[in-house]
Chain A
Amino acid sequence: DQQVKQNSPSLSVQEGRISILNCDYTNSMFDYFLWYKKYPAEGPTFLISISSIKDKNEDGRFTVFLNKSAKHLSLHIVPSQPGDSAVYFCAASAGTGGFKTIFGAGTRLFVKA
């Protein structure tokens, strides 16, 4: 029962172009969404988040969009840089669920120079 799905295992983008990573969820109780970035041999690190009361959150080159009706969120990276090459995890939690966070399986992003 995958409540958070990242359907693209990998994505390849040219340096300077936009990277769009997608995530779908099934649980309508989720009210907080996060993106984590993971380099090899390191643990995931928090990148950006969005509350369900918003539909967009921006932090520098990173923007997360939330479409609650479609139960879909996306992470946009503009412009993409080679250092952005990593695995990106989408995660979701429900306030009523306490501290439990459900992760997607991740999308590996390759940014080509």
Chain B
Amino acid sequence: DAMVIQNPRYQVTQFGKPVTLSCSQTLNHNVMYWYQQKSSQAPKLLFHYYDKDFNNEADTPDNFQSRRPNTSFCFLDIRSPGLGDAAMYLCATSRDLMASGTNEQFFGPGTRLTVL
């Protein structure tokens, strides 16, 4: 089945220790997104890639970076995690908006990050 896969599902890191979360997709979608979701809050878009074109949200901290080496993979790097970065991180994909006429997104199961 075509899907969005996130590894690991649970990640524990220490305060200030860099961490990388990964996402892969078999849907061959142009667009990939990273969201941060804290408990009982709305998923918040951090950035997205349209193919190799990176689009950062204005309020995304510099501490968060992303890489997309190819269509299938996208990484979220947190350079110096703080306690406030503990959250669920969701990866999503979508097809080209113009081609599909919709921006329905397909989500992975998320990675829950704990910062000690």
Contacts from A to B (Cβ < 8 Å):
2, 4, 9, 32, 34, 36, 41-46, 49, 89, 93, 98-106
Contacts and interface: CB of A to CB of B under 8 A. Distances in A.
B7 to A, nearest CB: 13
B76 interface: no
Contacts of A102: 42, 45
A18 B10 CA distance: 36
Contacts of B103: 32, 34, 93, 99, 101
Interface of B: 4, 31, 33, 35, 40-45, 48, 50, 55, 57, 90, 92, 94, 97, 102-110
Contacts of A46: 104-106
Given A32-B102, A43-B90, A46-B106, A98 B55 contact: yes
A34 B92 CA distance: 15
A-B complex: 6 closest residue pairs judged by Cβ atoms: A43-B107, A103-B42, A105-B42, A46-B104, A103-B43, A44-B107
B48 A105 contact: no
A70 B50 CA distance: 33
Contacts of A43: 4, 90, 92, 107-110
Contacts of B40: 9, 105-106
Contacts of B42: 2, 4, 89, 102-106
A86 to B, nearest CB: 13
B43 A99 contact: no
